[in-house]
Amino acid sequence: MTRQRMTWIVLTVVFVGLLVARGFVGQGLGRVYVERGEVSLAKDGRSDQGEPVWRTVPRDQAEHAWITWSRVTPKAFAEAQAKEPGQDRVVLSWPRTVGLWLAALLTLAIFSFLYADNPAYKLSESIFVGVSAAYWMVVGFWETLVPKLFGAILPGTVKAMVQPSLKVPAFSPWAPGTWDAADPAFWPWMQQWGSMAIALVFGVMMLWRLMPRGGWIAGWPLAFIVGMTAGRRMVTQVESDLMAQAEATMQSVLPVTPGLSAWDLFWGTLPGILVLVGVVCCLCYFLFSVQHRGAVGGAARVGVWYLMITFGAAFGFTVMGRIALLAERVEFLLDDWLWLIDPNHLRS
Amino acid sequence: MIARQAVPLAIAIGAGLLMAVSYFLRPLGWMSESASEIFNVVSAIAFVLGAGSLLKANLSTISRRDRGWGYAAVTLGAFLVTLVVGMGKMGVNPSPSSPQAAWSGDQQTAETPFGWIYEFVLSPLSATMFALLAFFVASAAFRAFRAKNAGAAVLLVTAFVVLLGRTYAGVVLTDWMPGWASGLRLENLSNYLMGVFGSAGNRAILIGIALGVAATSLRILLGLDRSWLSREGGG
């Protein structure tokens, strides 16, 4: 048996032992409680737009009814039990409790990489890749494709199944007889429908890349994305970064409060002057078409100092962000899972 | 060759010029809006392409029984479970404002299986992955950052001041300073460094990036930069 395997076994045994011991001490650990709620709705006429209006009614009169479960604190469960022993309004949620344990074990599996690469880490990594790919695909489908693409191409179906607030147009692309160019709603509809038809064609062309032959067809929608991004960025970057940043730099040196003493004026405008000097000097450093000699060289050297401070601050800020995330994960393990700390008084 | 080179080039130039021109000519604004809508939908469809590539790569690993094929199977299983649960909006109650529409409900809550996957699998995994970087950033910094010259020393000191200034420790360490020297307290020094020197450096970097993006975009729109085309022309 290798030394590394021995270490893993010892760590796992100690950890499981501590976990079992923790289960028998105090309030126990790692449980999630939920409170039951009900939604019971019946139709209450129609709105001005002809959509049904729903109101809450007793369950026996409801046309649509379902139960909801919202998370509550362990303290709320203890209080509900003390008030009415054996009540079934606030109960232990098995799915969420299993989820909590799974989240904790996955967190530990990822942290185990700090010691060495191991099967638990690889397993978590594989789950992460699979779940995140599907997650973003599902989000893209329900939040972009359904309301925009299917909402334009199959408005009746989307309105009936997903989005009752969707307005179904009076025109149909498949029946030119319904088209009425004099109707003010016609051209916006035509624009929307045409855009989505082009998007659908481009989308299918893009998916052609997965076919064994003719993958070059995917180059057409890609060309659209490249061209559009270039055209949009060319103007927006110049406006929002170049011009806006230059304007902000200039304005920061202008005294805006009248009646200040010379001393206050100096201290008030000093930061703005330092920023202006810094921007000009850093830009001198970025200027590669002129040799860094004389005045330009001096300014470039000052620019390097500014950049060093900028990178140092950015580094410190990034590390702080990561440490905050780490603290949040540790708090999750100690508070939500192990119930060793209770900073938000969820249990006491 | 025309379909593989000339047509994509024409599409890119046309779409790009349309976007640039419609920014200045308000009557053409609707074209820009349509192009943005198309872009959003094509981007969403690109997720399907990514999923297809993921399936292809993992299925091929499994079928060849390559090293680590079991992990590929786990990836595939996690992907398919999440996809089926999410696409079918399984276990999602309708929206209370429109209960007649079966799929009108929000599935991003922990009550639903998809929300459960997000809350108990995806969210902890991604947060922990990023938290793990704290160790690697610190470790890399320890090995790479040496105060070999004045510039590197300034970088290190700034990072240290910002780190301390953003924590309670920094506040406690320099709390004893008198009011007239309050600017030297770590939290104020950190704010000053970031607000003045950091701001100047960041602005210069942003201006440089804007100029670079504008120049590269112009090269693409004029057809001078075709590097993106050569990679996609094959098939």
Q: Is it the case that residue A245 has pLDDT exceeding 80?
A: yes
Q: Mind telling me how many Å the CA of B185 is from chain A's nearest CA? A: 16
Work out the minimum CA distance from B28 to partner chain A, whole angstroms: 12
pLDDT of residue A255: 62
Average pLDDT over residues A47-56: 83
Contact assignment for A54 to B99 by CB distance below 8 Å: yes
pLDDT of A235 over the 50 cut: yes
Asked whether the beta carbons of residue A308 and residue B151 sit closer than 8 angstroms, the reply is: yes
Tokens of A215: 């993958």
- At residue A267 the predicted structure's pLDDT band, cuts being 50, 70 and 90, is confident
What would the two tokens of residue A167 be? 């307005």
Res B234: pLDDT? 42
Percent of chain A exceeding pLDDT 70 equals 99
- Confidence label for A165 from pLDDT (cuts 50, 70 and 90): confident
Would you kindly state where each structural domain of chain A is located, as residue ranges?
Answer: 1-29, 33-92, 259-348
pLDDT of residue B64: 94
Domain-embedded: residue B189: yes
Please name the residue ranges forming H helices in chain A.
Answer: 3-24, 74-83, 94-111, 119-140, 151-153, 155-161, 186-207, 219-237, 244-251, 262-286, 294-331
Is A242 in CB contact (< 8 Å) with chain B?
A: yes
What per-residue confidence (pLDDT) applies to B235?
A: 38
Q: Per mean pLDDT, which range of A20-24, A33-37, A279-283 is the poorest?
A: A20-24
Q: Is residue B233 part of a domain?
A: yes
A256 close to A265: Cβ distance less than 8 angstroms: no
Report whether B121 contacts B93 (CB < 8 A).
no
Of the pLDDT bands very low, low, confident and very high (cuts 50, 70, 90), residue A184 is: confident
SS3 B157: helix
d(CA A167, nearest CA chain B) in Å: 14
Contacts of A307 in chain B (CB under 8 A): 201, 204
Q: DSSP state, A32?
A: -
Residue A105 pLDDT level (bands cut at 50, 70, 90): very high
Residue window 68-127, chain A: list those with CB within 8 Å of chain B.
Answer: 68-71, 95-96, 99-100, 102-104, 106-107, 110-111, 113-114, 122-127
Question: How many domains does the structure of chain B reveal?
Answer: 1
B21-37 burial by CB neighbour count: b if 16+ within 10 A, else e? ebbeeeeeeebbebbeb
- Give the domain range for residue B168: 145-235
For A32, left (φ over 0), alpha (ψ -120 to 50), or beta?
beta
Residue type, B137: V
Instruction: State the Cα–Cα distance between residues A104 and A97, nearest whole angstrom.
Output: 11
Mean pLDDT by 10 residues, chain B (235 residues): 86 91 85 88 91 92 93 97 94 87 84 94 95 85 78 89 87 87 88 92 94 93 84 45
DSSP state of A175: B
Instruction: Determine, yes or no, domain membership for B204.
Output: yes
Question: Which residue among A215, A229, A283 sits closest to B204, beta carbon to beta carbon?
Answer: A283
Average pLDDT value over all residues in chain A: 89
Identify the pLDDT of residue B113.
94
